[in-house]
Structure 1
Amino acid sequence: MKFVAVTSCPTGIAHTYMAAEALEQAAKAAGHEMTVETQGAAGSAPLDAARIAEADAVVFAADVDVRDRERFAGKPTVTAGVKAAINDGAGLIAQAVKAAEDGTAPAAPSAPGPELASKVDGSAGVGTRLRQWLMTGVSYMIPFVAAGGILIALSFLIGGPEVAAKVGGGDFQGVTYPGIENVSDLMSQAGIAGVLFKIGSLAFEMLVPILSGFIAFGMADRPGIAPGVVGGLLATATGAGFLGGLVSGLLAGAVTLGLKKLKVPRGVAGVMPVVVIPLVSTLVVGFLMVVVVGEPIAAAQTGLSNWLSGLSGGSAWVLGALLGLMMAFDMGGPVNKVAYTFGLAALASGNYVIMAAVMAAGMTPPLGLALATLVRRNRFTPAERQAGQAGWLLGLSFITEGAIPFAAGDPFRIIPSLMVGSATTGALVAAFGATSPAPHGGIWVVGLIGNPLLFLLAVAIGTLVTCGCVLLAKSIGRDRAPAAATPETSTQAVAA
C-alpha cells in the first residue's frame, strides 16, 4: 500500500523528525510505501498533491494542529501523537492498513491550521494546562535564546571578554570603555566581534518578551500575544526578568481570556479582537506589571540571580546532580524542559556553569546507550542497535530524545540508569566549574565552553557510568539474550 503522513511536535525539533523516521522504517519493513511531511521548526515541504491522491491512508502523528489538513479530506486516517509513532511505528502502520482496507475514519475537512500552534489540551486539568502554557512559551523562546547565546559566545571567542564593555560601556580589568551608541560605528570601533555581540544581545533580550507573549498565546490564542509581549518588555524594564516574564504571560492570557468571554453588541463585536481586546488587555497587564507585581518579582529575581551566582564548590555539584537527574528522567518531556528552562534562567542572569551542567547531562543518555549497544550487542534488539548508531550523533548534538526508543521498551531498567549517568555528569561539570554561554549545540560549540577539557571529561565519565548502569540493569532478570529470538519475541521480551 501507499501511505502519507504528517509529523509535528510543539518545538518542531527532535520528535518531529524521529517520528517521521520511525514511520518510514516501519512502513518499509511491512512492505509498504510511506512519504512523510515534517512540519518542524525549519518549516515543511508540503506533500505533492498527486502523492496524497494515490495514498491508501493518512497517518497524523502530531501533538499540535496539522497545517492545511483539508488536503487529506476523504482519506482513511489514523491519528496519534509523535511519541506513539516513535515507540510503535509498526502499530500505526498496521492501523493504517486496516483503515485503508475498511475505508473507515475519513479525515474531516477543516480550515487551514494556524501558522502558530500550541500544545494545549483544553479538556486537561488545570495543572496539565498550566504546564502546557509554559511549555508553549518556552518552545517559541528557544530559537531566540539559541541564536543570541551562540552569537554572544562567538563574539567572546573572537574579541575576548572585553567586547561586552567595548560595546555596552563599563570597566574591564581597569580600563573604562565609553560604549558605542551609534550602531553604524560598531564595525569600525569594535570589529566583527562587536557586531556579533550587538546582534546576539538584541536577540537574547527578546527572551522574556517572547516567553511572556507565547505563554499568553497558549492561553488565549493570537489576541494574547500583544499584551504578553508588552508585559514581558515591562518585566525586563522593571528588573523582574525571567520570573516576571512567566507572571506577565499568565496575567496577559488570563485578562485576554476574560475579555474574549464578554458578551457585546453585534456592532461592537467586529472591533473587539482588533482594537478593544489588545487595548484593554495591554493596559491592564502593563499597569499591573509597573505598579503592583513588577517590584516584588524583581526582588525575587535578584535573589535567585544572586543565589545562582554564588553557587560554587560543594553547593554547585548538588544542583548539577539534581539537574542531571531531571534531564534524564523523561528525555525531552516536561521535567527535562523544567531543568533546561532553569538553565536558561541562569544563563540570563550571567551564571554559565548551570547551562553547561544541563547541556552535558542531556548529552550522556544517548551516548551511554550507544556505547552499551557496542559493548554488549546481545543485550539489545536489532532495532535498538540501529538506534544506538544514531545515538552517537544525537548525543553529541545535545538531543536527549535519542534515548527514547530504549526507554520506551524497557523503562524500569533504562530510565534509572540514565538518571545516574546524567547526575554524575551534571555534578562533575558544576564541580569542575565548566561554563557554557551557548544554550545548545553540544560538542559543536565546545570552542565556546570554558574549561572545555574538563567539560568533555565529565561527559565521558557520565557516558561510561550510563553504559555500566544500563548493562548491569540489563543483566538482572535476563536468562537469554533478546538477539537470539525472533523479531516478534524480541519485541515482547524488551516490552516485558
Structure 2
Amino acid sequence: SVAASADPATDSTAPASDGDGGSDSPFRIVAVTSCPTGIAHTYMAAESLENAGREAGVDLVVETQGSAGFTRLDPAVIAAADAVIFAHDVPVRDKDRFAGKPTVDVGVKAGINRPAELISEVRGKAERGEVTGGAAPTPVERGGEEGEGYGSMLRKWLMSGVSYMVPFVAAGGLLIALGFAIGGYEIKSAPSVMQHFVWTQTDSWAALMFQIGGVAFGFLVPVLAGYIAYGMADRPGLVPGFVGGMIASTINAGFLGGLAAGLIAGGVVLAIQKVKIPKAVRGIMPVVVIPLISTAIVGFLMFVVIGKPIASAQKGMTDWLNGLSGSNAILLGALLGLMMCFDLGGPVNKVAYTFATAGIAVSNPSDSAMKIMAAVMAAGMVPPLAMALATTVRGRLFTETERENGKAAWVLGASFISEGAIPFAAADPLRVIPSSMVGGAITGALSMSFGATLRAPHGGIFVVPLIGNPFLYLIAIAVGMCVTAALVVVLKGMRKPVAGGTAPGAPEDIAAPAADTKQPVAA
C-alpha cells in the first residue's frame, strides 16, 4: 500500500476532527484506488489524493489495489478512520472492511482530477453523520454509488474481466513474439518440447517460449468470462464463468462468446441467489447447488442455444478484418487511433486495445490482425511522447510540475503506457485531448498504410525488433508525436492573459497557484 500522513507541522493548524480522535487530532481518511490494468491510474490517483490530503491537513492513507496485488491496510487504521474514499473502475476487493463509515465512491479518474473536492465531500458526509450500510450481494453492487445505472455497472463488469485478462495477454503475446523472433515463423510447426528439447539449440528454446505463450493465450477467453461473472456475482460466478468461457473457446466463439458467457453466468447466479432457500440447505448452496445448476444452465445455453450464432458472428468479423485493404484499412487505423487517445487508458481506450489483442490471441494470427495491433500500440504511444516533446521544446508554456511529468512521459510513452499523458489532459483537457486524438489518428492511419505488423500485444519501443517494417513504424509514431506536440504548443500559446496577471506561459505563470501545478508524477 501507499501511505501519506499530514505533515506534523500542519497538524496543529488542521481543522478539528469530527471523528473519535479528539479536537486536536487531524481528520482521518482511508482510500482505495484501482483501475482495470492496475498500472498507471491506480498509483496516479493514490498520489493525487495524498497530495490533496497534505494540503487539506488531513491524515490520509491509501491502499492501491494494483496489478501486482495489494497489501491490506492495518485494521486499526481503518477502524480509526473518520471517512473512506473509493476511486476505482473495478470492484474494490474486501470492501466489507470499510462498512459503516462515511464514504465517497467514484471512478479512478475522479481521484486523479479532483481529489480536493472528494476530500471536502467526504468530510461533509462525516459532519452530517452519513454512513454506508452492510455489504450488498455482489462486488459491483458494492462498488457503485447508490442509484448507479446499469450502463455504469455493465462497464465495471466488463472492466473486471479485462483487468484480469490483460496480464495473460502480455505474458502470452510477448512469449509467442519472442519465439517467432528467435526461431522464425516456422516455429509454430515445431513438435512439442515434451518430446524434443535440446538445451544447446536455439530452435528448442524458441519452441519452448512459443508453446508456453500458446498455453497462456488459451486462458484469455475463460479468464475474461470468469471474472466478468465474478464482477457480477462474486465467487459463485467463477465456476460457470470459466466453464462458459472455455466452451466459447472450444466452439470458436472467441471473445464475443467469452463476453456473452461471462454475462450469462453472472446473471444466472444472481437469479439463483434470489430464490428463497430453506435454512437447512443454505450451507451447501455456495459449494454444491449454485455451481451445479449455474454451470449446467450456462453450458446448455453456450453449446445448444447461442454458441453457434456467436461463433458465426466471430467468424464474420474475422473474415471482414482479413479482407480489409487500401482506404478501408487506413480508416480503421485512424478510428482505432482516435479511440486510443480519447480517454488515455480509460474504457474507450481499452475497447480498442481489447479489439486488437483479440485478433492476435491465436497461434496463427492473420496479417490484418497484426497490422491492427501495430496501429493500436503506435497510437497509444503518441500522447505521452507528444507531451514530453512539448514540455521540452516549449517548457515556458507548462508549469514546473508538468515539466517534471514530461520527463517521466518519455519513458511511459516509449513503454506504451498512454496514462503518462493524464496529468496534462487533466490540467488542460480541451487542448490536450483533441490534439492527442489528431496525432493518434494520423499515426494509426500511417501505420496501417505502411503495412507495419506486430505480434506482441505490449512492449512499446522495446519490441521494435518484433515489428514488421520497423523503420516506417517509427516514422508513423514520430509524425503523430510531432503533430500532437505542435497542436498543444499552438493552442496553449493562444491562451489569453489572465486578468490582472501575467500571460499563461510566461515564466511568472509557473509559480502561480493554479490547479494544474498539483498533478501527480506518473508512476
Shift of 1:159: 1.2
The question of whether the paired residues in 2 share the 8 Å contact of 1:136 and 1:218 is answered with yes
Shift of 1:103: 8.0
Residue in 1 that maps onto 2:49: 23
Residue 346 of structure 2: which of 329, 333, 342 is its match? 333
Q: Deviations over 1:434-456 (max 9, x none)?
A: 11211112112222222222221
Residue in 2 that maps onto 1:41: 67
Identity %: 57
Q: Deviations over 1:82-132 (max 9, x none)?
A: 323322345556778x689x9886987978x99999966674223332222
Residue in 1 that maps onto 2:113: 87
Residue in 2 that maps onto 1:242: 255
Structure 1 gaps, min length 5? 167-178
Instruction: State the SS of the aligned residue for 2:458.
Output: coil
RMSD after superposition: 3.5
Instruction: State the SS of the aligned residue for 2:297.
Output: helix
Residue in 2 that maps onto 1:170: none
Q: Deviations over 1:274-300 (max 9, x none)?
A: 112111111111112112222222222
1:454 aligns with 2:447: no
1:183 aligns with 2:194: yes
Residue in 2 that maps onto 1:470: 488
- Aligned partners of 2:289, 2:195: CA distance in 1, in Å? 39
1:147 aligns with 2:171: yes
- Aligned partners of 1:439, 1:104: CA distance in 2, in Å? 49
Residue in 2 that maps onto 1:263: 276
Q: How does 1:285-364 map to 2 (within 5 A)?
A: 285-348=298-361, 350=365, 351-364=369-382
Residue in 1 that maps onto 2:151: 127
- TM-score, structure 2 as length reference: 0.81
Shift of 1:493: 11
Residue 284 of structure 1: which of 270, 286, 297 is its match? 297
Residue 383 of structure 1: which of 364, 378, 401 is its match? 401
- Aligned partners of 1:431, 1:222: CA distance in 2, in Å? 46
The amino acid of 1:257's aligned partner reads L
The amino acid of 1:471's aligned partner reads V
The amino acid of 1:462's aligned partner reads G
- Aligned partners of 1:264, 1:353: CA distance in 2, in Å? 53
Instruction: State the SS of the aligned residue for 2:453.
Output: coil
- Aligned partners of 1:252, 1:91: CA distance in 2, in Å? 38
Instruction: State the SS of the aligned residue for 2:468.
Output: coil
The question of whether the paired residues in 2 share the 8 Å contact of 1:119 and 1:136 is answered with no
Distance of aligned partners of 1:19 and 1:127 in 2 relative to their CA distance in 1, 3 Å threshold: closer
Q: How does 1:417-456 map to 2 (within 5 A)?
A: 417-456=435-474
Residue in 2 that maps onto 1:176: none
Residue in 2 that maps onto 1:227: 240
Shift of 1:70: 7.5
The amino acid of 1:246's aligned partner reads L
The question of whether the paired residues in 1 share the 8 Å contact of 2:382 and 2:481 is answered with yes
Q: Deviations over 1:6-37 (max 9, x none)?
A: 43334322111112232344456678886544
Shift of 1:488: 5.2
- Aligned partners of 1:92, 1:487: CA distance in 2, in Å? 25
Q: Deviations over 1:36-90 (max 9, x none)?
A: 4422110224456787799898755444555566877999877654323322345
- Aligned partners of 1:192, 1:118: CA distance in 2, in Å? 47
The question of whether the paired residues in 2 share the 8 Å contact of 1:70 and 1:108 is answered with no
Instruction: State the SS of the aligned residue for 2:280.
Output: helix
Distance of aligned partners of 1:71 and 1:281 in 2 relative to their CA distance in 1, 3 Å threshold: closer
Between 1:328-337 and 1:65-74, the stretch displaced more is 65-74
- Aligned partners of 1:218, 1:159: CA distance in 2, in Å? 40
Residue in 2 that maps onto 1:402: 420
- Aligned partners of 1:260, 1:70: CA distance in 2, in Å? 19
The amino acid of 1:164's aligned partner reads K
The amino acid of 1:367's aligned partner reads L
- Aligned partners of 1:307, 1:77: CA distance in 2, in Å? 48
The size of the alignment, in residue pairs, is 480
1:485 aligns with 2:509: yes
The amino acid of 1:424's aligned partner reads I
- Aligned partners of 1:264, 1:70: CA distance in 2, in Å? 24
The question of whether the paired residues in 2 share the 8 Å contact of 1:324 and 1:424 is answered with yes
- Aligned partners of 1:451, 1:90: CA distance in 2, in Å? 47
Residue in 2 that maps onto 1:253: 266
Shift of 1:345: 1.8
Between 1:450-459 and 1:85-94, the stretch displaced more is 85-94
The question of whether the paired residues in 2 share the 8 Å contact of 1:410 and 1:494 is answered with no
Residue in 2 that maps onto 1:193: 206
Q: Deviations over 1:406-450 (max 9, x none)?
A: 222222222111100000111111111111211112112222222
Instruction: State the SS of the aligned residue for 1:7.
Output: strand
Instruction: State the SS of the aligned residue for 1:426.
Output: helix
Residue in 2 that maps onto 1:175: none
The amino acid of 2:256's aligned partner reads L
Q: Deviations over 1:456-487 (max 9, x none)?
A: 11111110011011122223342322553375
The amino acid of 1:402's aligned partner reads G
Residue in 2 that maps onto 1:173: none
Residue in 1 that maps onto 2:500: none
- Aligned partners of 1:460, 1:163: CA distance in 2, in Å? 33
Q: Deviations over 1:278-329 (max 9, x none)?
A: 1111111111211222222222211211222222333211101000001111
- Aligned partners of 2:56, 2:279: CA distance in 1, in Å? 56
Shift of 1:147: 0.7
- Aligned partners of 2:141, 2:110: CA distance in 1, in Å? 20
Instruction: State the SS of the aligned residue for 2:33.
Output: strand
Between 1:71-80 and 1:120-129, the stretch displaced more is 71-80
The amino acid of 2:69's aligned partner reads G
Structure 2 gaps, min length 5? 1-5, 8-27, 498-502
1:164 aligns with 2:209: no
- Aligned partners of 1:55, 1:387: CA distance in 2, in Å? 32
Instruction: State the SS of the aligned residue for 1:398.
Output: coil
